[in-house]
Copies of this chain bind each other. A is one copy, B any other.
Amino acid sequence: MAFFVHPARDDISLVGVLNALGDPARLAIVKNLAEKPDGMSCGGAAPCDGMARSTLSNHYRVLRESGLIFQVKKGVENINTLRRDDLEARFPGLLTQILKVAD
């Protein structure tokens, strides 16, 4: 019943990842997702309320295109999941370290 909204990209670049995380809203989303291995909906992981839905949608697109997350459609929601293993394989220790200092 759940299927990928987009294929998960496999050529993750360091600049892409850093650029994606170099925005307060996206870093907040990733921090939220880091605590939920099973993923969260777009609204659920939102960095704040009051942000336009279209803006939020753009942030999720950047996160997806940078390879930080993947999205599966489940019913009416998109479930976003942090690609910890893929990132660990590509850039060992990087995401862990960033999340650690992001407390």
Contacts and interface: CB of A to CB of B under 8 A. Distances in A.
A93 interface: yes
Contacts of A91: 101
Interface string A38-56: 0000000000000000000
Give the size category of A's interface with B.
20 to 34
A22 B24 contact: no
Given A19-B23, A22-B18, A23-B19, A92 B98 contact: no
B94 A14 contact: no
A93 B95 CA distance: 12
Contacts of A21: 15, 18, 22
A32 to B, nearest CB: 15
